[in-house]
Each structure stands twice: as C-alpha cells, then as structure tokens.
Structure 1
C-alpha cells in the first residue's frame, strides 16, 4: 500500500460522524496522505501519469471493519507555478473506471480536456468502488452472454427473466465477496470525501459526467461545505421514478434518432446521403426482430480487442443504435452500420461478448440496482412497457433504463439508496449544472429539476444533441473551464450552440 496513515481508525471514525460533513470550505483535516508513484507498465497509462491506492472501509457505518482499496491515477498539472490543486473526475456509467477515462481525457484534443484546464489542475481519475481496479464486481461472463430478452411479452417470459438475473446476481455476489452489497453511490460519496481529505488540499474540485453527476450531487448533499468547485455535466436526477425516468429517456432517444435519420439522409459525411434512411432503419429493426441478423466480423473470444455477438436481435440492435446516437461524432459510423445491416451484415451493430470476469456492465448493474427502487409486478411492468412503446414507435420502449430495470428485478442486493428528491443546502460554492437540450441519456428535464434541488446552482444549456457537453471543445467547454479555474459562473439562462 502506498499510503501513510496518521491514525486511520480515528480518521475513519471522524469521517462517519454527521458533524464532520459540516467542515468549513478548504478545511485541511489531518488524515491519511496520498503518496503517488510511477504506474505499473501493464496499465499502459501515459508516461507522466502517477498512481496510488487509498484504503477505505467496505461499510462506512463500520469504519474499523473490512477494507477495500480504491485505485486512482493522476495527470500532473502542466504549469506547477500556477497550479490550483487537484480536479477529481468521474466518467459516469455507472461503472465507468476513472483511471482509464483519464488516460484518454488528459491528452485527447478532439473530445478530452482543454490544455487550459491542464495548466491549472492535477487531473485525478479514481476508479469508484466496484469498478476498474477498485474491488471490481466479478461475474461469470458465460451467464452474461446468455441471450435473455429484457422486453418480455408474456408473464412466463417475465418470470424467466427475473429468475435469470437473480441467478446471475447471486453468482456475482459469490465471486465478488463482501463488497458486493456496498456498491451504492452513497458509499462512493463517502469514498470521494476520503479522497478529498487524503489529497490534503482543502475544498473538492470535481467534474462529473452522466452518472458521475449523481455521485457529485449526492456528495454535495452530505458534504456541502467541503466543495471549492463542482461541475455536473449531463445531469442525472435521482428523484425520477421507475416510470418517469424511462419515459423521458426513451422519448428523447426517439427524438435524437429522428435527428440522426435527417442528418444521415442529407449530410455529405454520411454513406446514406440521398437515401430513404427512415425506411432503412425501420427495415433493419423489423428484420432483426424476425430473426437475428448475422455479424460475421465478430469474434467470441479474447483474440479480439472487442469481442461481439455472432448475430444481432432487434432488441440488441435498438440498444446499440442508442449508444451510437449519444454523440454526433459516431453518427457516421452508425450510418455505415445501418447500411451494412440492411445488406445482411450487422457486425457494426453487435453487442459485446463477455470474456473476462469483470466489465463496466457488471459494475453498472451492481451500482444501479442499489441506487433505484425498480421492483415491479408483471401487471405493472406490462402497463409501463405499453406506455413506453406509445412514446417511442421506433425503439418500442427499449432504453438503457428499461434494461437496468429488467436486471434489477432479480438482483439480490438490497436497495440502500432509493430515488428521492435531493435537498442540497449550505453549499460552500455555486455548483454548475450543464446539459444539452437533446441529451437522450440524461434528458434536459432532469437538469432543470436537479438545478432546483441544489441551492445556489446555475444551469448552463447547450442547444444541440448528444450526451454531455464538455468534450465538444466549444463555448460550453470554455465556460466550464472558466468556472473551474476562476470560479466565474455563466449568467442565469445562458445557452450556447457549441
């Protein structure tokens, strides 16, 4: 372990007491300090990156109990003389590993950090508990590869689906160990506070994307006085219920899919320019529903860097299509995928084939199933699906949230962080919430709602499509940078086109 503890039991006990959350902004409480070191070459991080681990309790209610280690890496600030401090990143997911995200974010001039931001901050990429190299969720990949529909049309199929995910979840519990039932975002928020203290720099600087906004906002509710700056880009609002969440999500997915169809029909960079893309999308969806379309370019073993399924069902095709439309930068690839699938080759639209015992998808299920109360009877399920199909004629209710709900019906972990409105008050800074008008993954309604739940926060809007906004390197990124570096907020009601 690369840490020095100054009285770890006292530190952990203090961190769990309610009064500790009221520490003043920039409070430098003595505790464990991080010692950074060169990263293991096996990780393939950039040469200037440094790595470390931080020990935290499995269960924050019992700080002297069993421990896990949180892995994190660092991209040092470019300008040491002007360095402000550390900026902690979270890529969302849930289940995304911050360390691998940072390896791309720090040096990607197309979709990553600005050079301006790197001037002033060490960028920190922790792997949240249950993800990456931080006690990851482990499962049998063979069970995950079994094709079980998450859109059951009969009660028997519904019961079979629930039984499958319970069997799979119990397998993951056995393989993962004691930390399996402590993958929730509240536990991760306490981990984030432990990281802040171990950095020893005072108030937290935080940039969270997608589900990382839930981690940030729940941290702010627990530790409102310990923040210097916080940006929540692509807002997840934890108050949305099991019907309202998928309804707003799939509705926006349907809108953005229509935007893609228009783009693919008219844009010079689309291989489908001049064609009836609307009819082609409907046709490939219908064909895949009748019988899975072959994906001959896919391999189902570790000889491929991205193993994928040998064929693609209609449900799977709709799911992967949604992943492509999240960012306009991948619309061209989706156009190629639609063209090839229309010709009988669905390789580009195939879902992953699992070969390892850990995966972002495994971690995502463990986290979301402890964060949301998604239990349903068959009657409630089928009524909700009828509603979702009515607002998404192409996608027919298929979305990431409905898939998560299906998994969680059988997941064995207790729900310890159920959805509820946040009440973030007494914050030591003004938090910046950012969202695109047409973000299908975190719909704009969520950002508007989240802003009202965080006292003193400001909502910055990007007029456009796509999930999150910072990586587009436009006016929105510059406004975020200005806030993180100078604590200068954009005006209320600000809308940017880039």
Structure 2
C-alpha cells in the first residue's frame, strides 16, 4: 500500500506537508492550524436539532452531523459523516469551553455520552463545560462499518487456545478478516484512532473552540493520547482513566489483560479468604484459589449446569473456559459477586453438552461494533500482530503456563493475523501536554503497568493511583474514592494539575 503522506505532499503542497508531519507526531506550528485543503471541513456550520423524539431527551440535548474526509491526505476525495451531540450545561460567566468524551471499546457508542455524564459530573464541572459526544467514524450513527459476519464470527470474545481446535480457530480468523476486507476494503485503512483524533479536531473547529478538554476511559485514553500528540496546541484539560500503554497499542493491549489478571486474582483470593464464614471457599488465599481451579477442572471434564444467584447465567452449561472468562471480570469489578457465583458453581450439577448445539449460527447479525473493534485493534498497529499462525500457537502455550487464568485467551490467534497493513505507522506518543492519568491498582483490563506507561509517555501528566482499587474505570463510577473525585473535579474546574502525583486509597 502506498504511503498516504507522500501522496498528500503532491496533492496539497506545503500545508499538507505540515499536516503529514503532525500525523507522525511532530508538533503543529502556531501558524499552521490546519492545511488549507481542509478548510471546507473546518469551516462547517452544523445544523443542530433536538436529539431523539420529543420528550425522550431534554431540549438542550442537541444533535448534528458534520462531514470529514475519509482520507485526510486526500481531502477532496471520499467523505464520511460524523454524528455529534452537545448538552449545554455551562453557566455564563463560568463557562470554560467544551468537554468531549469517549467511553472506550473500541466499539462503544458515545453519541449519548453527554446525558450520561451530566448525572456523573459534579455541578462545578458542568457549570464550566458544554458536554460533547460523538460516535467515532465507522460506528453507530457515523457511517457505520459492517463486515457481514455471522453470529459465530461476530462473537467479540477472545477464544482460548486448544491444540485440537487451533486449525479451526485459524480458519475462522482468516475467514473473518477476508469477509471484512471484501466488504470494506476501501474504508478499512482509514478507520483508525489517528483519523478519529483528526475528526475530533474538526469537531473542535466547528464548535468554534481554540482548544478542547477531554475525558476518556479505557480505549478512550489511547484516543485522547493520540489527540495530544497530533494536536498538542489544541489540547486543554485531559483526563485519561484506566489507561492503556499508548506506545504498545495492538497485540500487547490484549496480552496485558493476561498479565494483569494473575496479581488481581491473588488479591481477590486474599479478600475472599477473610470472608470464609460467608462464602465457604477457604479461610486462606491458597484454599480460595484451589476452590476456583477445582471447579475449572470439574467443568473441563463435563459442563456444569449453573444454578445460582446470577440470572444472566441461570441454566447455562458452563465449561472450564467459561469459568475463567466469566469470573475473571467479576473478580475485579464485583469481587463478592464472583465469590457467590463460584460458591453457586460448587453446588450446581454437571451436565452433558447438547449434541444439537452448534455454538453459533450462520445467520448474519449487526456486527458494527465488532467490525469497528477489529479495524482499530488490527489496523492501528498492524506490525504488532504476527503473520505466521505458528507464532500464536507457541505464544499461547507459553502464556498459558505464565498466566493460567487468561494467557491462552489473549495469545491465541485472531483476525488481526490476516488483517491488511494500516495506512500509517503507529503513533508514537511522547509529548509534554498536561494530563491527569487515573488508575486502579487491581485493574485487570488495563493493568497498573499500562497506566504507568501512559503517565511516562505524557511528560506533563500527573498520576492519580488508587491503592487497593479494584475494577476497571474509576472516575464517575458509583463508589469512586472521594480522593479521585476531588482531584479530577479540581483539575477540570481550575485547569491546575496537582503539584505531584496523587496517591488515593480505595
């Protein structure tokens, strides 16, 4: 695939050259706000209208669409539509600007974020910002990407490595990638975090703002970091909650979940051992862990028919792989619920799999979120994904031994092994933009090591670490430590970062 930036130099001259350098991480100059060829996008005046039907949302919640180039290096070519929203909550005399947000994924809808955030943010913050949401390019109401996948192909879950099924897993991954390429070949190279960040800068301009403030969670932290790299002069107050390592995004993002699961599992076992009188899983951490692995081994021999307190899994035939995948998330987001579910499994009967069950169907499904997730995860840093299936086999065996909870899930083959190379190199995040990085100690989705890497990549940032904090996502969640809420609110309200990193207690 030819380099898009080389084409841009010939197409739009010097200003496009400046823009191309910006895309590679160079800081934009004060006199080069954007290439002149992008004027028609930056100078748009969106037609705002009430979101939803009358009475569904308050009249102050407005929606609009803006047009962006599919390929920023060829702005006179094909375009894409972005759905944006705003909720004017700022108070005259206190207003600072706009606050954009992204909840993560990649693949989580964000057009409705202003309504959700209005209830989660303190009045002192709402008074200073109009809240702005948008579905990223390729998602939801923003020219959605679709691959035409079946229900089985569109399963978003990672699959554990098994020698007996690896050939089938490989064929499934290859077919999924081929289906997406056949249907969306022209757009896939431009469904990237970098292009979404460029879209954010267009949104900034059409809203009449010199800078934007931003609140991102999980994958949204990577999007925010990429924006600071491409547009440091337009980055205002940036909060990145439950961060990923911005310079190892791609396969490493998956692998980090396995390395984060092990210490969090040990911490969970210590927590539950202190409550043996309630859950009867063991009065020492070692006994609790043994109880977990006993049920995994039992379900590996024959599925367990779950009977217990979790209605979502009531009656399900649960395998050992299911237990590791299902309870892994609950260990950290809902530790006592996980203990109850494990106790329920101990008293649930074994069963036999239904021979008539195929585990999926060939019927097409709405695969927009899955297609978008694949485009971002596979395309943003395509060099991070090995092309030889044998590499995944070796890595999965090794990682299962190192990280028994989830290593064979995250190291197994995915469609990314067969994905086309991205249109650009991965963004290198290395700047001095001020930001606040918020991180729980026992987050298994984005482990503490990931948050530390984000903090180090953004040299002007401060870290807010929650010692003893469990679960994924902190700020704005029920039960968030007052220390976190107070620190983030103060930054968003005043723009002043803490003098030093902040240590909070769960």
Whether 1:49 aligns to 2:57 is no
Provide the rounded CA distance (Å) in 1 between the counterparts of 2:360 and 2:127. Answer: 37
CA drift at 1:256: 1.4
Question: Which residue in 2 is equivalent to 1:389?
Answer: 400
User: Which of 467, 484, 496 is residue 488 of structure 1 equivalent to?
Assistant: 496
Report the RMSD for the aligned CA atoms in angstroms: 3.9
Q: Is the 8 A contact 2:395 2:411 kept in 1?
A: no
CA drift at 1:378: 4.1
Alpha carbons of structure 1 residues 106 and 379: separation in structure 2 relative to 1, 3 Å: same
Deviates most, 208-217 or 127-136: 127-136
Whether 1:225 aligns to 2:233 is yes
TM-score if structure 2 supplies the norm length? 0.79
Alpha carbons of structure 1 residues 337 and 217: separation in structure 2 relative to 1, 3 Å: same
Question: Which residue in 2 is equivalent to 1:361?
Answer: 370
Q: Is the 8 A contact 1:24 1:226 kept in 2?
A: no
Provide the rounded CA distance (Å) in 1 between the counterparts of 2:105 and 2:220. Answer: 7
Question: Which residue in 1 is equivalent to 2:200?
Answer: 192
Provide the rounded CA distance (Å) in 2 between the counterparts of 1:213 and 1:56. Answer: 22
Deviates most, 203-212 or 485-494: 485-494
Give secondary structure in 2 for the equivalent of 1:61: coil
Q: Is the 8 A contact 2:443 2:471 kept in 1?
A: yes
Question: Which residue in 1 is equivalent to 2:321?
Answer: 315
Provide the rounded CA distance (Å) in 1 between the counterparts of 2:74 and 2:332. Answer: 40
CA drift at 1:336: 3.6
Provide the rounded CA distance (Å) in 2 between the counterparts of 1:448 and 1:175. Answer: 39
Alpha carbons of structure 1 residues 279 and 492: separation in structure 2 relative to 1, 3 Å: same
- Higher Rg of the two aligned structures: 2
Gaps of 5+ in 2: 1-10, 351-358
Gaps of 5+ in 1: 1-8, 298-303
The count of corresponding residues between Structure 1 and Structure 2 is 463
Provide the rounded CA distance (Å) in 1 between the counterparts of 2:58 and 2:414. Answer: 39
Whether 1:17 aligns to 2:19 is yes
Whether 1:144 aligns to 2:144 is no
Which residues in structure 2 correspond to 1:75-94 (within 5 Å)? 75-77=87-89, 79-94=91-106
Provide the rounded CA distance (Å) in 1 between the counterparts of 2:396 and 2:61. Answer: 47
User: Which of 245, 257, 263 is residue 249 of structure 1 equivalent to?
Assistant: 257
Provide the rounded CA distance (Å) in 2 between the counterparts of 1:321 and 1:214. Answer: 26
CA drift at 1:421: 4.4
Q: Is the 8 A contact 1:249 1:441 kept in 2?
A: yes
Provide the rounded CA distance (Å) in 1 between the counterparts of 2:348 and 2:423. Answer: 45
Provide the rounded CA distance (Å) in 2 between the counterparts of 1:358 and 1:481. Answer: 37
Question: Which residue in 2 is equivalent to 1:3?
Answer: none
Question: Which residue in 2 is equivalent to 1:180?
Answer: 188
Alpha carbons of structure 1 residues 290 and 50: separation in structure 2 relative to 1, 3 Å: farther
Whether 1:445 aligns to 2:441 is no
Give secondary structure in 1 for the equivalent of 2:407: coil
Give secondary structure in 1 for the equivalent of 2:292: helix
Which residues in structure 2 correspond to 1:415-494 (within 5 Å)? 415-416=422-423, 419=426, 421-425=428-432, 427=433, 430-463=434-467, 464-471=469-476, 472=480, 474-494=482-502
Provide the rounded CA distance (Å) in 2 between the counterparts of 1:157 and 1:496. Answer: 45
Question: Which residue in 1 is equivalent to 2:296?
Answer: 285
Deviates most, 133-142 or 488-497: 133-142
Provide the rounded CA distance (Å) in 1 between the counterparts of 2:488 and 2:263. Answer: 27
Provide the rounded CA distance (Å) in 2 between the counterparts of 1:117 and 1:268. Answer: 43
